[in-house]
A and B are shown apart, each in its own frame.
Chain A
Amino acid sequence: MPSTAVRPRRGGGIRRGEARSGWLFIAPSVIITAVFLVIPIALAFWVSLSDWNGFQSPLNPRVNFVGLENYAAITVDEGLDRRNFGISVRNNLYYVLLVVPLQTIISLLLAVQVNRAALRGKGFFRTAFYFPSVTSTVAIVIVFQFLFTASGAVNAVIGAFGIDGPDWFNDSTGLVHGALSAFGVSGPPPALAEPGFLGISAWEWLAGPSVAMTSLIMLAIFTTSGTFMLLFLAALQSIGAEIDEATLMDGAGPVRKFFSVTVPMLRPTLFTVLTLGLIGSWQVFDQIYVLGGASAGGTISTPAFLAYRSSFVDLEWGQGAAIAFILFLFIIVLTVLQRWFLKERGPKKRKSTTSKPAEEAASATAFTVDGGLR
């Protein structure tokens, strides 16, 4: 069959051998992608289905296929593994719920401020706001540790207002629990005390981020807002002056202009920022690792940290890989959901055809630059 299929081509023609050269040219990137991306992911998936204990290669004959056992251990089987996973998901959920909206709003506001034509010392402010983003998270955690100790600068400042600050990084009190106890509710009503989803009682799911996690949330917002400010700034500068003028002529005030013109025009960037924020905050690891992951009553542990711990410390590599894949699934599902929410609908449909390429380009960058952005 090949001889008949190939022969006509051999006869000549200007495009002879083009396909071969094409493959030759992309071979390096295909090989690199396969070796560093496709095969490792396939191997990790195999590990999550196996009982590999971290000794020699996961493909050696002593490793057995155990099906979904590793996934079951952290999702349906009763025990410490499921509980640890449940707690880490809860912690991370609160982290995402607070970090993503706050960092988006703050970075947008910062971008609008440094974009103002009237602002003096623009360069200074842009640098100042961007600076935390170029500093290593680890370095910032260490600075934060000094700021947030019981006798640190933060407590000294709020102490001046007569408030007795907590020992931030060691305080495991959930904010919701703390607020409830101010009203005299210090324990769960019986209906909420039963172990529920992932072995965690509803009362514990509702705890809110702990004080320690709240300090990490502030840290995350501090470090990432600068990066996203830059994205918003680029988008803002592509909004032409004629549009400002047109809004002015239509009689819109600054607030109306911001919400009715600027924000809609920033939709593709907003999508990028929200997607990057979502991915980054579900993968939060370095801060937790530096703090040891076990402080504050386990309220700062996250799935990414748990995956590391299960693998390297407890030698439960299958479970660690399973956590990583569940996390991957979370991120995919949430990103798709978010895409659906931000999709333009209804009467604006005609406009969406024009903005679509930009949106797609934005989402494409979201996946390629993810590693570089925090």
Chain B
Amino acid sequence: MRTSQWSAAALAAGLVVTLAACSSADEGGDGDVQTGQELTMLIGSSGDAETTAVQAAADAWAAETGNTVEVIAANDLVQQLGQGFSGNNPPDIFYMPWDQFQTYAAQGFIEPYADELSNAGDFLPALAEQFSYDGQFYCAPKDFSTLGLQINLDAWEAAGLTDADIPTDWDQLATVAQTLTTGEQVGLSMGREYARVGVFMNQAGGSLVDGDTIAADSPENAEALEYLQGLIADGSLKFPQELEAGWGGEAFGLGKAAMVIEGPWINGAMANDFPDRRFISVELPAGPAGPSTFAFSNCWGMPVGSETKDATLDLIEFLTSDEQQLAFAEAFGVIPSTESGSAAYAEQFPDNAAFVAGVASATSPVAFQGASAALADFNVQLEQIGSADPSALLGTLQTNLQAAFDEANG
């Protein structure tokens, strides 16, 4: 009897310890004090340049308002966010990636604060739409990037091409890619993933979601895949894996691909790793249904029910001001997410004007809740793009997307 009492006591002690650990640990935060707050910010940084710039901006705001901001550069942003939320200790402000936003919003993880910002109306409409869920504008777009076509000038000139040859449609792209393909280099490269291949689908007039229906297996999408298969058959399109490069930019920097499809982040990568590479960025060539490109963005996420909401809102207003965004643009090449900011950017960085010009035809990649698993599977299937039947690839995608869509809306 005595022993069982003791064991019960021991177990109870264990339970108390555990339950204390489970209950919310951060309830001690003091309400609406504007100063003296200690914010943590989790960012998925592209490198030292970005981390330093964000830290500097956060410090500037902190010094002005009498708070402190600890900037943490994540090794694996999505995993660390998941950890923070499940441990009930999410960062006060964080980068919310575009492909996870819908999932996080649907699961009720993030605060729909964006309408409360004083500069809520300044953002580019396409971006405001990308970060809206259920008709509500959730979080402020941090900045954005579009895809463009990068051309290696040395290879271009060596092949005897001039400014007049810069491709503006699919046929011209196929022709110059063929011309630029030599024994040493391939004409065109890009990531073997939906985030690149999908652009061609949109240029052919297709899309994955058409209003409320999934339209992945449309003839337009098949046409896009067939066009890419043609380039692969000609030997003028190879993916980075086949060129022993980690991503398109590396293949480009190494001189293994004369043209790649990447965003403005390629400027930083070239400056860091391949400073001798001479290149220009132009708008993507138009497809049969006209021009199209993808816009990618992160937003500044705030956990739902944040206890530091007022201070965080103030910080986000500071970070999304045109002035601060242009400073970020200078530091690591992103494009400001506001109308006036991006216009100023195009003037200030004429080399990158093509990326800003892309905004006119930019759409957001499909990213509703659950879509990322279907798209991840599609990226795996794309490995067979060279030999597979396009309608079979798209049929699988259609089935998986439909299932995810039904679950998200049902």
Contact = CB atoms under 8 A, between A and B. Distances in A.
B243 to A, nearest CB: 9
With a 10 A CB-CB cut-off, give which of B24, B377, B379 has the most chain A CB atoms. Answer: B377
Interface residues of B, number: 45
B383 A297 contact: yes
Given A55-B107, A80-B374, A312 B403 contact: no
A79 B403 contact: yes
B107 A19 contact: no
Interface residues of A, number: 43
A5 B381 CA distance: 71
Contacts of A282: none
Contacts of B6: 19-20, 23-24
A151 B374 CA distance: 33
Given A30-B14, A54-B82, A57-B22, A298 B88 contact: no
A23 B79 CA distance: 41
A296 B383 CA distance: 8
Interface string A203-215: 0000000000000
Given A35-B17, A55-B108, A317-B86, A298 B3 contact: no
A57 B23 contact: yes
A160 interface: no
Given A80-B377, A172-B383, A20 B2 contact: yes
A53 B88 CA distance: 12
A151 B379 CA distance: 25
Nearest to B78: A313
B244 A150 contact: yes
A31 B380 contact: no
B11 A34 contact: yes
A296 B241 CA distance: 10
A34 B3 contact: no
B3 A23 contact: yes
B18 A149 contact: no
B132 interface: no
Nearest to B400: A80
Contact of A6 (B1, B17, B241, B400): B1
Contacts of A5: 1
Nearest to B305: A56
A312 B79 contact: yes
Interface in B75-104: 78-79, 82-83, 85-86, 88, 103-104
Contact of A311 (B15, B82, B400): B82
Contacts, number: 107
B109 interface: yes
A244 interface: no
A6 B108 contact: no
A266 to B, nearest CB: 41
B49 interface: no
Contacts of B241: 167, 170, 295
Interface in B341-395: 370, 372-374, 376-377, 379-381, 383-384
A334 interface: no
A27 interface: yes
Interface in A310-325: 311-315, 317
A34 B2 contact: no
Contacts of B82: 54, 311-313, 315
Interface in A288-345: 294-298, 311-315, 317
Nearest to A32: B14
B15 A80 contact: no
B392 to A, nearest CB: 13
A30 B9 CA distance: 11
A374 B103 CA distance: 36
Interface in B1-54: 1-3, 6-7, 10-11, 13-15, 17-19, 22-24
A83 B373 CA distance: 12
B242 interface: yes
A248 interface: no
A35 B109 contact: no
A39 interface: yes
A84 interface: yes
A55 B85 contact: yes
Contacts of A55: 85-86, 107-109
B85 A30 contact: no
A297 B107 contact: no
A2 interface: yes
Contacts of B244: 149-151, 167
Nearest to B407: A79
Interface in B270-311: none
A59 interface: yes
A297 B380 contact: yes
A314 B380 contact: no
A20 B1 CA distance: 11
A373 to B, nearest CB: 26
A295 B244 CA distance: 13
A171 to B, nearest CB: 10
Given A54-B82, A313-B78, A167 B242 contact: yes
Nearest to A81: B373
A19 B373 contact: no
Contacts of B104: 315
Contacts of B380: 294, 297-298
B79 A31 contact: no
Contacts of B22: 57, 59
Interface string A30-48: 1100110011000000000
B238 to A, nearest CB: 12
| B14, B374, B379 interface centre (most CB from chain A within 10 Å) | B14
Nearest to B90: A55
A297 B377 CA distance: 9
B107 A2 contact: no
Given A31-B13, A149-B244, A311-B82, A56 B24 contact: yes
A20 B6 CA distance: 8
Given A30-B10, A39-B18, A55-B108, A84 B85 contact: no
28 contacts: A1-B1, A24-B6, A27-B10, A31-B10, A34-B14, A35-B14, A35-B17, A54-B85, A54-B107, A55-B107, A56-B85, A56-B88, A80-B373, A80-B404, A81-B373, A84-B373, A149-B244, A151-B244, A172-B383, A294-B376, A297-B383, A298-B377, A298-B380, A312-B78, A313-B82, A313-B372, A314-B103, A315-B103
Given A2-B1, A59-B22, A167-B242, 11 more contacts: A34-B10, A34-B14, A55-B85, A56-B86, A80-B373, A80-B374, A80-B377, A150-B244, A151-B244, A297-B380, A315-B103
In the A-B complex, the 4 residue pairs with the closest CB atoms = A34-B14, A312-B82, A23-B6, A54-B86
